[in-house]
Chains A and B, each alone.
Chain A
Amino acid sequence: MKREALTQKLLVLGVDGMDPKLSRKFMDEGIMPNLQKLLAKGSAREDLGHLGVLPTITPAAWTTLATGAYPGTHGITCFWRQSPHSLDAVVYNMDSRNCEAEQLWNVTADAGLKTLVWHWPGSAWPPTSDNPNLSVVDGTQPGSVNMGVAQLDWEKIIFASEEIKEIQYAPKLERPAGTGCMISDLSAITEEKEPTTDMMELWYGEAAMTGSEIREYIMGPENMEMVIESIPHYDVVNSPLKNAEGWVAAPADAKEFTILTSDGIVRRPTLILKNADGIYDRIAIYKNKKAESPIVVLEVGKMVSGIVDDINKEGVLKPACRTMKVLELSTDGTSVKMWISNALDIAQDKLWHPKELLKDIVENVGPVQPVSLVGGEDAYLVEKVYEPAWDSYSQWQAKALNHLIKTRDFQVVFTHLHNVDCAGHMFWHLAKNLERWSHCDAEVNQNFIRKFYIQTDKYIGEFLHLLDEGWTVLLLADHGLLVGEEFPPQIGEYGGMNVQVMQELGYTVMKQDENGKNLKEVDWEKTTAVQSRSNYIYINLKGRDAHGIVDPADKYELERRIMSDLYSYRYKGQRIIGLAMRNKDAVVLGTNGPQCGDIFFTVDEGFSRLHGDGLSTTDGAFDTTVTPIFIAAGTGIKENFTTTRTIRQVDIAPTIATLVGVRMPAQCEGAPIYQILDEEF
């Protein structure tokens, strides 16, 4: 079919976790001027939101935004899907091959429109169309471009002082806030420990792409994501600091220390240099002492990105991009503290389609920048490292997208930025005074939230010029993020199987050691149901599940009993389950079908974690909401217009299809947002 396009060029500006209530609040405070401009030029609801799908989980919602289908229809119902082999195992789900609905970008490419899909964390990679009009970059994890496949070395804090006698290296140390940077007892930290979770490796690693199965049991607060992510992990290097000796290029009065990279096997001698006033204020990093010129010179307090140096992997040298910052440097040059980011292989093009896009970006914009994952409850690191590193990445991404838009004649561009969501997972829960984090300052963390929205506003500002060049711009998110009112109960966490509540209710039975402590093994002979991933309960059914014990004839009655028990369950004296319904009934929420368990449930408002467990209308402390933002502006969209229409997440793909004049994606369940379009329908 042919439909007349309302616009020739359309950009989807996706910002993961962007919350309309906070956006309104910060706009009113005057700290989001670019958002204000976008809104004035376009259409939105008064509350700036749209109705997100259930579950309020990243890949589920981004897949809905791409297909116009509900999660029950497209089949991406969490970060993980259930393993066909066992109810306690899950398989990574950020893989387009699992999506059962057609993506809009395949439709636009087939319609002859040059289309770019950039780091879209919902059924984008691998590309599902071989149409040459379609370009796709990454989309295998929500973090940042190439994060899952190009990391060659981890983040490090290097501390050098005259007191340190020999160089020491401690990889991936858990560093609660307030911990100093001296390595005090190396033997204590070198013991082989069972990792607390193997989720991260699958999340960011290559194993995710091979469909590996994991078993993750959430058995206590220590297994909960918000607890794990609050504590930063990074490598620590302690280096002696002394007068420079044996250098080809060291000026008089220079001092030296050593940086270790490449998991500790590469050493980079570094000079500490004086300025004209005789104050030590910068460092210069060299390949070795015989080198004539430095790899980079860093002034104290100034973050520098795009630093390319070789990383040594098993004797093979690979150029990698890093961001670095000298955090502290004593004016007399006797101590220095610095951060170096993880290192991204600058040539890793396996998630670029076509591959030459990477070369184009590296040559014209610069290598893909790493982000930071250290911060959490350490406010010093959030302020000095984490937030500025994300700001730097966001600016790199804006430049990269603008470069591609300008030079390659793309007509439809789908993009995703993860800054707000990543920060949310790390410290949003610290923005309210909860007992567990009483050592953290809620107001400090509220201001960090502000900073991330200011950063996002700056990012949005980089695209406003497109409105003057005939483009249509849609700003949207998958979900918002809550500042939680309470430390949440252990049900509805998306990372695996949630044990506690279902164990207390007698449905899940774990094997136990002689002290009555849970082992990481389900007693399948006694287990009648398990709670897996964000919102799903599975009956351990005979004939369907590997260890099934429940007769299919008893399933209906058992479901009734479980739902009744869930509603009666009390946590801190309160009911915590919002809704619980059978799979067949959950069609009213769009969460029915084979990927949605036997019972779909939500955690009630007031007890939800950041996102992903409750209704998509849930509100939290500090004026937060799980509702995602939606603002449209530019060609084809009414200017300065407010609609009362309920905008559902499934309505956005058909709206885009209408604007660019292509057919609806095959499984689309939404309808265009007629009310905001210039042309009457």
Chain B
Amino acid sequence: MSLEQLNAIKFEEIIYDNLESCLVIFSRKDCHVCKEVVPLLEELQPNYLGKFGFYYVDVEEDKNLYQRFSLKGVPQILFFKEGEYQAKLVGAVDEDKVIDKIDEVLES
């Protein structure tokens, strides 16, 4: 199940208007590490339906979002809850790390 792409407007709506608990991976098409991490998120996504959202931002298409979060390099997974940024995971990550972080965010 592929991740829903967010542009700046959609990003505002999901994260800040709907206050959804979710993660957003900032990635780039030609990034090798992103190609490993994105499928991992796609696999995890069905386990959290209705509980925790999974999205992606293409940093080349939405430079201003990348800029706004002062990110340096991709991939980076940002976690949000109730309109507040919670944490991020940087670079190559394994499934357990993502699961732990989601649990942490949901329980906080």
Q: A186-B63, A288-B83, A315-B87 are in contact. Are A265 and B9 (CB under 8 A)?
A: no
Of A186, A246, A269, A310, which is within 8 A of B67 by CB? A186
* 0 or 1 for each of B74-103: is its CB under 8 Å from A? (1 = yes): 000001001111111000000000000000
- The dominant DSSP class at the A interface is mixed
A289 and B17 form a contact (CB under 8 A): yes
Tell me the chain A residues, 245-292 only, with Cβ under 8 Å from chain B: 246, 258, 260, 262-267, 269, 287-290
- The dominant DSSP class at the B interface is mixed
A169 at the interface (CB under 8 A from B): yes
Could you say which residues of chain B place their CB within 8 Å of the CB of A260? 68
Bound together, the chains give a CA A142 to CA B14 distance in angstroms of 44
B67 and A265 form a contact (CB under 8 A): no
Q: A262-B85, A312-B85, A315-B87 are in contact. Are A167 and B67 (CB under 8 A)?
A: no
B85 and A266 form a contact (CB under 8 A): yes
Could you say which residues of chain A place their CB within 8 Å of the CB of B69? 263-265
Of B67, B79, B85, which is within 8 A of A169 by CB? B67
A287 (CB) vs chain B CBs: closest residue:
B83
Closest CB in chain A relative to B73 CB, distance in Å: 11
Closest CB in chain B relative to A483 CB, distance in Å: 39
B70 and A288 form a contact (CB under 8 A): no
Bound together, the chains give a CA A288 to CA B86 distance in angstroms of 16
B40 at the interface (CB under 8 A from A): no
A269 and B68 form a contact (CB under 8 A): no
A469 at the interface (CB under 8 A from B): no
A262 (CB) vs chain B CBs: closest residue:
B85
A264 and B12 form a contact (CB under 8 A): no
Tell me the chain B residues, 1-34 only, with Cβ under 8 Å from chain A: 7-9, 12, 15-17, 19
> What total of chain B residues lie within 8 Å of the partner, measured CB to CB?
22
A313 (CB) vs chain B CBs: closest residue:
B85
Closest CB in chain A relative to B102 CB, distance in Å: 13
Classify chain A: how many residues form its interface, as a range. 20 to 34
Tell me the chain A residues, 157-180 only, with Cβ under 8 Å from chain B: 166-171
B84 (CB) vs chain A CBs: closest residue:
A312
B19 and A288 form a contact (CB under 8 A): yes
Q: A312-B85, A314-B87 are in contact. Are A265 and B68 (CB under 8 A)?
A: yes
Bound together, the chains give a CA A314 to CA B101 distance in angstroms of 14
B82 (CB) vs chain A CBs: closest residue:
A288
A644 at the interface (CB under 8 A from B): no
A264 (CB) vs chain B CBs: closest residue:
B68
A245 (CB) vs chain B CBs: closest residue:
B17
Closest CB in chain A relative to B104 CB, distance in Å: 10
A263 and B12 form a contact (CB under 8 A): no
Q: A264-B68, A264-B70, A290-B19 are in contact. Are A315 and B63 (CB under 8 A)?
A: no
Closest CB in chain B relative to A476 CB, distance in Å: 43
B64 and A267 form a contact (CB under 8 A): no
Could you say which residues of chain A place their CB within 8 Å of the CB of B17? 246, 289
* 20 residue pairs bridging A and B, Cβ less than 8 Å apart: A166-B64, A169-B64, A169-B67, A258-B16, A260-B68, A264-B68, A265-B69, A265-B70, A265-B85, A266-B84, A266-B85, A267-B16, A267-B83, A269-B16, A289-B16, A290-B19, A312-B84, A314-B88, A315-B86, A315-B88
Nearest 9 CB-CB pairs, A to B?
A264-B68, A169-B68, A166-B8, A315-B87, A265-B85, A315-B86, A288-B83, A168-B64, A267-B16
Footprint of B on A, CB under 8 Å? 166-171, 186-187, 190, 246, 258, 260, 262-267, 269, 287-290, 310, 312, 314-315, 317
Known: A166-B64, A167-B68. 7 other contacts (CB 8 A): A167-B8, A167-B12, A267-B12, A267-B15, A288-B19, A288-B82, A312-B85
